Structure 1
Amino acid sequence: MMSKNGFSRCGELYIDYLRQEGRHSTAHIYKNALFSFYRFCGRSNVSFRQVTRKCLRCYGQYLDECGLKPNTISTYMRMLRSIYNRGVEAGNAFYVPRLFSDVYTGVDVRQKKALPADELHRLLYEDPKSERLRRTQVIAALMFQFCGMSFADLAHLKQSALESNVLRYNRIKTKTPMSVEVLESAEELIEQLRNRQDALADCPNYLFDILRGGRTRKDERAYREYQSALRRFNNNLKELARALHLKSSVSSYTLRHSWATTAKYRGVAIEMISESLGHTSIKTTQIYLKGFELQERTEVNKGNLSYVRDYFASRRK
C-alpha cells in the first residue's frame, strides 16, 4: 500500500496535477522518471527516507549501465529532485543539504546533433524519389526556414498564426511569443502542407495537415496523437536520411540544432540565435540586451537558407 505522504505518492499526485493542467508532455517525463526509479528500487512504494545520497549515486550508476545518455540521466535526476523538494515544502520530508550533489543534473553540451552543411543541403534539397519522403522533406524544410522551429511548434501552428506573410505564435515549451517572416521559398511548401479541413467546434484550427485538430489541446488523446505524429516524422526522417545516403544520425531536433549551428558558423551573434530560437536562458545579462527586430531576424534566416541551398555551388568556386 502506498504511503499517503511518501515519495511515490507525492510524485503520483504531481503527475495527476500536470495532467489536469493539460501538461501531458511534462507529466509523461515525470512518469518515465518515476517508473525508472521504481525499477531500480524494486518496488513502487518508495518513502522519502529511502531517497538518500547513496541511493541516488547507485541509481545514477544503474542508469549509466543501462546505456542512457547523460542528458536523459540528468532529466530523471531533476524530476526526482523536484518531487523531493515538493515533499519538503509540504512538510512530508526533511530538508537534506546537497542531497543531489553527487549525481549529474547538468546538460551535456558535448552531444553535437547538427548536420554538416553538405548533408543538410542533401537532406533539404535532393529528391528522395518517394512521395511520402518528399512530404517529410517539406516538413523538414519548413522547420529550417522558420528559424529552426521545433516540430511541436510547427505541428500546433494555427491558421490564425499566419497573417500578412508573418507567423506569430507562442512556443509550446516556454510560451515565448515568436514572430517569423515567411520567406518566398517557403510559400509553396506551406501550400503543399496546408490543412484544408474545417475545424470542429472548440477545437484548434491547425495551419498544417499534421494533426487532425479534433480534440482540445488539454485532452490527453490530443497529446497521444501528437506523440504518434512525432514518432512517425522521426521514423520517416531517418528513412529519408538513408535514402539520401547521409552518414549522420537525423531527428526532429537535428534541424533546430543545425539552424543554430549554421548561424553560429556564419558569425551571427549568440543573442540573435537565442532570440530566434525562442530560448529563455542564455545568460542573465541577456535581459539587458536590446531585442532584435523582425527584419533583422529575417535577414539571418535568409542567410542561413542561402548558405545551405548554395553550399555545393560555393565550393566549386
Structure 2
Amino acid sequence: MVHVRTLLDTRRARFDGSFNIIYRITHYKKVYTLSSGISVHTNHWNSHSSEIDRIHPNAARLNLKLSKRFFEIQRAILELEDHFSIEELKALLEGKPKQVEEPITFKTFSDKLIKNMHQINKSGNALIYQTAVNRFLAFCGNPNILFNEINYTLLEQFSHSLAIQGLKVNSISNYFRTLRAIYNKAIKQKVVERTFYPFYDLKIKSERTLKRAVLRQDIAKLEQLDLSENKPAKRALDSFLLSFYLIGISFTDMAYLTNKNVIEGRIVYRRRKTHKEYSIKLFPQAKAILESFYQEDSKYLIPILPNNVVEDSLRAKKLIHQWIKTTNKYIKRMGIDVGIPAPLTTYVARHTFATTAKKLGYSNELIAEALGHEYGNKITNIYLDSFDSVVVDEMHLHVIAPLDKE
C-alpha cells in the first residue's frame, strides 16, 4: 500500500524563517517526499487538519492549490497500481507517459537459465534445455511467445507434431519435462502467474526402455578380437570392455578418472549424474586396459580430455560426446562382424553386467548395490546395511571372469 500525507517540514527553515510544505509518501516502509512549492511559518500551519490556518491572508487559495496537488498524487498512485516507484510517480506528475516494462518472453527467460548453467559448468543440462527450447520455438514459429500464451492446446499440438516426426515416447517426455521445469522456474521468479500454468491436465507419458543387454558369450566374442592393426577400433573396444569390467561405469565418469581415483587397488569415484560414491575392485582385465591407455603427459587415466580443460564445461562435454559417438560407431560394426544380434552401444556394457549377474543367480538387491541403484522401498532401504564390499567383489569377479575359466 502507498500512503500520502501533507506535512510541514520543520527540519530546515528557509531564509525568511518559513518552512516548506511537503507530501510524504510511504511505500512498504520506504519514505519519499515531494515538495509542494509552498512555504509558511509554523504559526500559520494547522497540523491537525494538515492545511494552512485561516489566519494566513492567502489560506483559501493556497489550501486549494495543496488539495489539487494532493489528489493529483493520489490519482497517479492509483494509475501505477502494483508497479509503484517514486521515479514513475514523478514522471506521471510531470506529464510524462507511464513507462510500460516489456514482458519477459519464454525465450529471454530460457536463454538466461541456459547461460547461468554454462557459467556454473552444468553444460549437460544446458544442452538439454537448449535443445528443448529450440525445438519448441521452431514449432511455435514465434520467438517472442510469452509464458501466458503457452496453453494446454499449444502443448498438445507440439506433442502431436513430435510424434508425427517419429520421436519416441521417452524423447517427447524429455522435452516436456524440460519445458515444465522452465515454466515452474518462471512462476517462482514471478515472471508469470500460477493461474496460467498449462501443465495441470497434460499427462507426460513415458515408457520403459528396451533391455540393451547382450549375452556374456557375446562379450567373450569381442574379447577375442585381434585389433592390434586398427588402433581406433581397438581404442573403442577397450573403452567398451573397460566399462563392462568396471561394473558398467559411464563413459563420462571414465573420462574424468585420474590417479587420485585409484586407491588400494580400487577405483573410487563419485558419479557425476547422481553424485553417489562408488568403490570398484580393479581386477586384472580392467588394469591391463588402463595400462594400455596410459600416457605420461596426461593427468587422466584415459587421455580423452586435455589437462587444462574445465571439467563439466561445454568443451569437455563435446569431447566426451565425440568419444562416445566414435566408440558406438566401431563397436556397432564389431557386433555385426561377430554375429551379435543386438546393436552395440556404450549403454550395453552396464546392462550386460546386470543381466549376466542375474543369470548367475545373484539377487536383485546385490546387483542394485553394485550398480548404485535403490531397490524396493526407499524408506525400508534406510534401515538396511549395505552389502559388504567382499560380497560385491565376489559377484563382480564372477561376472567378468573369462568363460573358459568358469
Structure 2-normalised TM-score? Answer: 0.68
The residue aligned with 2:173 is 74
Whole-angstrom CA distance in 1 between matches of 2:364 and 2:146: 44
User: Which residue type is aligned with residue 120 of structure 1?
Assistant: I
Note closer, same or farther for the CA distance 1:237–1:101 as it changes in structure 2 (3 Å cut). farther
Of 279, 297, 308, the residue aligned with 1:197 is 297
- Across the aligned residues of Structure 1 and Structure 2, the Cα RMSD in angstroms comes to 2.4
C-alpha distance in 1 between matches for 2:376 and 2:131: 28
Change (3 A) 1:270 1:165: same
Corresponding residue for 1:180? Answer: 280
Q: Is the 8 A contact 2:362 2:395 kept in 1?
A: yes
Distance in 1, matches of 2:344 and 2:190, equals 46
* Alignment correspondent of 2:249: 149
Higher strand share: 2
d(CA) in 2 for partners of 1:281 and 1:39?
41
**Aligned-partner Cα distance in 1 for 2:284–2:131:** 42
- Alpha carbons of structure 1 residues 226 and 302: separation in structure 2 relative to 1, 3 Å: same
Counterpart residue number, 1:303? 398
Residues 116-144 of structure 1, C-alpha deviation per residue, up to 9 Å, x if partnerless?
A: 34333323443356333222221111101
**Is 1:86 aligned to 2:179, yes or no?**
no
> In the alignment, does 2:309 pair up with 1:215?
yes
Higher relative contact order (CA 8 A, sep 6+): 1
64 and 266 in structure 1: CA distance in 2 versus 1, 3 angstrom threshold: farther
Question: Which deviates more from structure 2 when the two are superposed, residues 284-293 or residues 152-161?
Answer: 284-293
Tell me by how many angstroms 1:173 deviates.
1.1
Q: Aligned letter for 2:342?
A: S
Q: Do the aligned partners of residues 214 and 229 (structure 1) sit closer, same or farther apart at CA in structure 2, a change above 3 Å counting?
A: farther
Query: Which residue type is aligned with residue 246 of structure 1?
Result: I
Q: Aligned match of 2:129 in 30, 41, 47?
A: 30
Contact 2:217 2:403 in 1 (8 A): no
Give the Cα–Cα distance (whole angstroms) in 1 for the partners of residues 341 and 190 of structure 2: 53
- Residue 110 of structure 2 is aligned to residue 11 of structure 1: yes
CA-to-partner distance for each residue in 1:227-247, whole Å, 9 max, x for gaps?
Answer: 222222222222322332322
Tell me the matched-pair count: 302
Q: 1:214 Cα deviation (Å)? A: 2.8
- Partner letter of residue 302 of structure 2? F
d(CA) in 1 for partners of 2:143, 2:125: 20
Q: 2:383 aligns with which of 283, 288, 296?
A: 288
Which SS does the other structure have where 1:210 is aligned? coil
Q: How does 1:105-120 map to 2 (within 5 A)?
A: 105-106=205-206, 108-120=207-219
2:243 and 2:349 in contact (8 A); partners too: yes
1:310–1:36 CA distance, 2 compared to 1 (3 A): same
Report the structure number with the largest CA radius of gyration.
Answer: 2
Q: Which amino acid aligns with 1:262?
A: T
State the alpha-carbon separation in 1 of the partners of residues 307 and 323 from structure 2: 12
- Residue 51 of structure 1: how far off its partner (Å): 1.9
Contact 1:234/1:251, CA 8 A, preserved across alignment: yes
Between the aligned partners of 1:244 and 1:178, the Cα distance in structure 2 is 33
| 1:135 aligned partner | 235
Find the residue that maps to 2:167 and give its secondary structure. Answer: coil
Structure 2 distance, partners of 1:112, 1:119, is 15
> Gaps (5+ residues) in structure 1?
199-204
CA distance 1:126–1:80, change in 2 (3 Å)? same
Measure how far apart 1:185 and its partner are.
2.7
The percentage of counterpart residues that share the same residue type is 25
Asked whether the equivalents of residues 128 and 244 of structure 1 are also in contact (C-alpha less than 8 Å), the reply is no
Residue 146 of structure 2 corresponds to residue 47 of structure 1: yes
The correspondence of residues 92-111 of structure 1 with structure 2, limited to 5 A, is 92-95=191-194, 99=199, 101-106=201-206, 108-111=207-210
